[in-house]
Structure 1
Amino acid sequence: MHRIISTFTSSNPIRNAFFSSIRNPSPSFLCGSSWLGARIKGSRSFSGESSGRESLEYDVVIVGAGPAGLSAAIRLKQLCQERSVDLSVCVLEKGSEVGAHIISGNVFEPRALDELIPNWKSEGAPIEVPVSSDKFLLLTKGQALPLPSPFNNKGNYVISLSQVVRWLACKAEEIGVEIYPGFAASEIIYDNNQKVVGVGTNDMGVAKDGSKRETFQPGVELKGRVTLLAEGCRGSLSEKIIRDHKLRDKGQGQHQTYALGIKEVWEIEEVKHKPGSVLHTVGWPLDSKTYGGSFLYHMKDRQIALGLVVALDYHNPYLSPFDEFQKLKDHPSIKPLLEGGTVLEYGARTLNEGGFQSIPFPVFPGGAIIGCSAGYVNVPKIKGTHTAMKSGMLAAEAAFRVLAEGDPMETYWDSLKKSWVWEELHKARNYRPAFKFGLLPGLAFSALERYIFRGRVPLTLKHGKPDHEATEVASLHEPIQYPKPDGIVSFDVPTSLYRSNTNHEHDQPVHLRLKDPAIPELVNLPLYAGPESRYCPARVYEYVADEHNAPKLQINVQNCLHCKACDIKDPRQNIEWTVPEGGGGPGYTAM
């Protein structure tokens, strides 16, 4: 025990987190008895840096404990066991615990998990509800018209992804992976040759004015011989790497396009619950020019996942995805199911919809981008977990070859193009861009693609304008009058936000930064009617009267769900989303 104390007692925030975890163990701490030993054995060294920050050195540093990051970590350790090689692997997670920031309306395809952990069923994975029925509806305001289901969910499962990643974290820690939840990677660390050699976490205990509070703890540098970025959709470090190294131009060449998913988990009456039932809809409440749709999945324990996905290339600046979701719940095909039920959780997150055309070259000097940070979502399937996991596994295999055999990291790109991920996304490449012509033409084209051509059309459609450029000026549209929530099936933002368990230290620097503070009042409000007050599903942005009774943008950072919609949709790309203090944000348990 003397070794433990001497190794971990200092002002280093990660070491302090170690003691905090012992006092207040998180689910990942309780995963297995190997947790303590892993943190001692895996760390190569602690060293002080001239910057004043301490440095922890690993063979591989992974940013993000989602499906891709954890799959990469597990695969690396599996290869170590197979080849009798000892490599240290660290996973950094900005959520307060593993799974706290994971949200997905998930019908899970187990293909990648079958490869990674073949005996997952006997290992207690929280994947227990097979799809029992699969319906697809075209909604009008008062009707629901059945359409042939394009999804083919036979063999898939209805899951909570936040619970699945907690289980994956347990599997990772059992084989020696170190996981540090509650610490946000805020910067890339380069060596003198501009090679990435790790990441730095932000300082904790810094006040809004930049002064150090009594709780101040300096950030720490986590250095790796290979760094894998698995931050999820629109990851801040990943986006910087993509821009700085022009990785999109080196990949498939087209810009990424996104959607905002808004989701609630309900507990409904037993008589209405049908475990494994899957429903998808298109059409109402969205207009015919706005791509999107809803999902309703019956999980276990009388729980259902209900959500609306709205493509962020919508034109009307008056559109509010949150209020569209509230309207959806009043539809006669959905409202009766919810009546008598209770909302358990609320959340929101953006997702990649660019698909094959938008895949960047995922390798940079010193590492690679994996999972939804690169964008491997199969849009017609509405699935990205299995492809994210597989990309993490392929990157892990490439990283292992880099460290054990001296191969270049570019073998990840080669392996990706030979994998079923590439084949799957190539076949699905024309589905999403077809909808830029409208709902009915998009449905017609996608039906031809699926049932006639089966992904073999000899052309690749291009995406429309980037999402922020698609926003039209307010003068071209009429304001949308949304009904007031009834408090039974529809709710206001504060009520919903409470159910997300989101929390941020109040006295900390604002993590939502305006590149030009004047643009909201000079451009966004007069030209676009202040769209940030509507596209944000957490009322982070609202216009209030200043001391001269003039409208001024107020940023309620404590409300932030980390969805990244503002970073994507702002018409002038004036909002920059940066990581707040580690451990802040939503606290999902069933998403």
Structure 2
Amino acid sequence: MLSRQVPRVMRAQRALRPAATQVFRFAHASTRVAMRPALPSRTIVRAFSAGRVCCEEEETSVETERVVDDEVDVLIVGGGPAGLSAAIKVKQLAKERGEEIRVVLLEKGAEIGNHILSGAVLQPTALDELIPDWKEKGAPLNQPALHDEMVFLTESGSVHLPHPPQMTNKGNYIVSLSRVAAWLGEQAEELEVEIYPGFAGAEVVWDEGPDGKKRGIKGVVTNDIGVSKEGKPKDNYEPGMEFRAPITLIAEGAHGSLSQKIIKELNLRDAVDADPQTYGIGIKEVWRVKPENHKAGLVSHSIGFPMDMHTYGGSFMYHMEDNLVSLGLVVGLDYENPYLSPFQEFQRMKHHPFFAKTLEGGDCVAYGARVINEGGYQSIPKLHFPGGALIGCSAGFVNVPKIKGTHNAMKSGMLAAEAAVDALAKRGAAGEGEGEAEPEPIDLKEYKEKMDESWVMKELYEVRNVRPSFHNPLGLIGGVIWSGLDTLLFKGRLPFTLRNKKEDHECTKPASEFKPIEYPKPDGKLSFDILTSVSRTGTNHAEDQPVHLVVKEGNYKEHVERNVGTFDGPLGRVCPAAVYEYVNKEDAGDQEDALGKKLVINSQNCIHCKTCSIKTPDQTIVWTVPEGGGGPKYSLT
């Protein structure tokens, strides 16, 4: 077995990741894996400097040797609650059965928990099943949820509403999900799960049939390191490593780049007649407030201001331990007005008396943003495919009216683990694949059966009509009335399912139908400019690396013509990190302009929220993984 010291060395030498990577790969080469023959590599060249952005694909003559580790039993991509729960459960079951199952988990963040962002009020149902003695083991669930309130906000006032039963938080905990993930990582390491932070799953290794058609997956390739902005290898160049396994669990989170490729290539939505996935963007801050303003255990949710009556959204404010308050705004990305800025709406929201009375005199200590699955039951794709399965937010197990998904994500990982261990045992008992170069890929059909019988699907089915009900002529008022009747009176038993008919980008209307929104300037006390906020995320990317946010086919001129000409450049407003700017042509170097404007991509600012690739009206923004270890470094979120 690979030495358990390797991951620790990598973490200790994170600043020197290339050297640590080389040690890691040579360790593998000498103990577990074989080297492929040197082959010419195909490189995507992306350059960005002095306002110049280009994208082209070319053949290079670089000879590389890619390390292939083909002795993994279960490969997990993503170190969030779902992936870690799956890893822990596999090892627990293996121990019970006296089996040796090698589990490898890849995480693109520099440390487990760095890229985890959530509300978060945690329902401990799945944790109770996975690690019953979590309290004794020091899980960071320290603040019980003690009080609930639901508030309707007008522009300057507030009205307390009856609290919906499904949103009751008795028995739950207000947590930093980032810290919970880090703790789960510790539990996984104690069970000898091989965790490799700083290694992003960049490409799928496809299992192709005799006809060349993609029928499943064999594993993934991690991202190359040491590539310059021009796409050329630097002195510290190391090609990505290929991990192969009979079972690969994809747990990247909402709108993951690999999961989107797999869903598309294997038609996983069409296979089960699933609706398009819809999303919300969650903007969040953590404040340390004055002791007299802190009400430990209070869970507040609100609707209304700052959203208008036809834009889906809501806010939250959770009083954590140690005088910390987590607050945020979730805006449905199916909004119509291209002038709307979720970030600016959030800054405006904090000046409402309901929030200001808590925040005044306090300090903002953290900021973050991430998309959230909102499609619900009817948008869940086919969960299994030859060679692997989708778990957690990669599949979309968020209960929108309950405003929770972590317990469902964890349970999905646990059930996938059970199915995986059973499948490996059956293959071993049957001797399948012995003497064969390419055994038939494992299809975890039992995973879907387990999910259908679990409380996860029952919970999601019961509330399936809540989110789409807000698409009605009365907007917010109609949705609230319907949701109350459906959840309280009918309890999800109505014999029909409302559909999510459009993808979010299709809902954006031309700018000519709206007036620009004039947002107030930040005061530096309750509200902040976007760059100040981004500085609180700890975000960093290696400067000399390919831009990981690109325009399809490199056609920036057409992108500007469509997105500026019709929609007046919504990317500059929807991004919560000031990544995208449409600048005057004289300020953007020699990039070919359109309408006197050019697109500049400040990829260093990217906090990996994925909003751009979802909401861009013409769907030309492609989000690819940067060098592993880059991006935000959340800890309080």
Tell me whether 1:355 sits opposite 2:392 in the alignment: no
Structure 2 CA distance for partners of 1:22 and 1:506, relative to 1, 3 Å: closer
Q: Deviations over 1:274-298 (max 9, x none)?
A: 1110000011111111001000001
Greater shift, 427-436 or 542-551, is seen at 542-551
Cα distance in 2 for partners of 1:410, 1:81 equals 24
Match of 1:108 in 2: 122
Q: Give the C-alpha shift of residue 504 in structure 1.
A: 0.5
Query: Which SS does the other structure have where 1:368 is aligned?
Result: strand
CA contact (8 A) 2:226 2:237 kept: yes
Match of 1:46 in 2: 33
Cα distance in 2 for partners of 1:84, 1:500 equals 43
Q: Give the C-alpha shift of residue 215 in structure 1.
A: 2.2
Structure 1: 5+ residue stretches without partners = 9-13, 27-35
CA contact (8 A) 2:557 2:598 kept: no
Q: Give the C-alpha shift of residue 25 in structure 1.
A: 11
Cα distance in 2 for partners of 1:372, 1:158 equals 20
Equivalent of residue 185 in structure 1, options 192, 195, 201: 201
CA contact (8 A) 2:302 2:315 kept: yes
Query: Which SS does the other structure have where 1:262 is aligned?
Result: strand
Tell me whether 1:543 sits opposite 2:578 in the alignment: no
Equivalent of residue 480 in structure 2, options 443, 447, 458: 443
Cα distance in 2 for partners of 1:239, 1:389 equals 20
Query: Which SS does the other structure have where 2:578 is aligned?
Result: coil
Tell me whether 1:429 sits opposite 2:464 in the alignment: yes
Match of 1:30 in 2: none
The aligned amino acid for 2:181 is V
Match of 2:633 in 1: 587
How does 1:442-461 map onto structure 2 within 5 Å? 442-461=479-498
The aligned amino acid for 2:450 is S
CA contact (8 A) 1:519 1:574 kept: no
Equivalent of residue 168 in structure 1, options 177, 181, 184: 184
CA contact (8 A) 1:436 1:464 kept: no
Q: Deviations over 1:462-520 (max 9, x none)?
A: 12421000000000001000000000000000100000100001111111110132233
CA contact (8 A) 2:275 2:501 kept: no
CA contact (8 A) 1:468 1:571 kept: yes
Query: Which SS does the other structure have where 2:566 is aligned?
Result: helix
Query: Which SS does the other structure have where 1:547 is aligned?
Result: helix
Equivalent of residue 197 in structure 1, options 214, 218, 236: 218
The aligned amino acid for 2:625 is V
Tell me whether 1:413 sits opposite 2:448 in the alignment: yes
Match of 1:225 in 2: 246
Q: Deviations over 1:330-367 (max 9, x none)?
A: 00111121111011110000000000000101111100
The aligned amino acid for 2:461 is H
Q: Give the C-alpha shift of residue 149 in structure 1.
A: 1.5
Cα distance in 1 for partners of 2:544, 2:203 equals 21
Q: Give the C-alpha shift of residue 309 in structure 1.
A: 0.2
Q: Deviations over 1:524-545 (max 9, x none)?
A: 0011010000000001001112
Query: Which SS does the other structure have where 2:545 is aligned?
Result: coil
Query: Which SS does the other structure have where 1:306 is aligned?
Result: strand
Equivalent of residue 117 in structure 1, options 127, 131, 147: 131
Match of 2:547 in 1: 510
Query: Which SS does the other structure have where 2:204 is aligned?
Result: strand
Query: Which SS does the other structure have where 1:149 is aligned?
Result: coil
Please report the TM-score for the alignment, with normalisation by the length of structure 2.
0.87
How does 1:57-456 map onto structure 2 within 5 Å? 57=70, 58-150=72-164, 151-193=167-209, 194=214, 195-406=216-427, 408-437=443-472, 438-456=475-493
Cα distance in 2 for partners of 1:148, 1:431 equals 17
CA contact (8 A) 2:386 2:443 kept: no
Structure 2 CA distance for partners of 1:44 and 1:467, relative to 1, 3 Å: farther
Query: Which SS does the other structure have where 1:528 is aligned?
Result: coil
The aligned amino acid for 2:543 is H
Structure 2 CA distance for partners of 1:247 and 1:144, relative to 1, 3 Å: same
Cα distance in 1 for partners of 2:117, 2:208 equals 38
Tell me whether 1:526 sits opposite 2:565 in the alignment: yes
CA contact (8 A) 1:433 1:464 kept: no
Match of 1:462 in 2: 499
Cα distance in 1 for partners of 2:509, 2:586 equals 31
Query: Which SS does the other structure have where 1:61 is aligned?
Result: strand
Greater shift, 117-126 or 516-525, is seen at 516-525
Q: Give the C-alpha shift of residue 210 in structure 1.
A: 1.0
Query: Which SS does the other structure have where 1:387 is aligned?
Result: helix
Q: Deviations over 1:138-181 (max 9, x none)?
A: 11101111111221111111000000010000110101101000
Cα distance in 2 for partners of 1:473, 1:371 equals 35
Structure 2 CA distance for partners of 1:297 and 1:252, relative to 1, 3 Å: farther
The aligned amino acid for 1:165 is A
Cα distance in 2 for partners of 1:411, 1:464 equals 29
Cα distance in 2 for partners of 1:375, 1:101 equals 18
Match of 1:19 in 2: 9
Cα distance in 1 for partners of 2:338, 2:358 equals 31
Tell me whether 1:552 sits opposite 2:552 in the alignment: no
CA contact (8 A) 2:293 2:357 kept: no
Q: Give the C-alpha shift of residue 192 in structure 1.
A: 4.3
Query: Deviation above 4 Å: which 4+ runs of structure 1?
Result: 22-26
CA contact (8 A) 1:60 1:89 kept: yes
CA contact (8 A) 2:563 2:570 kept: yes
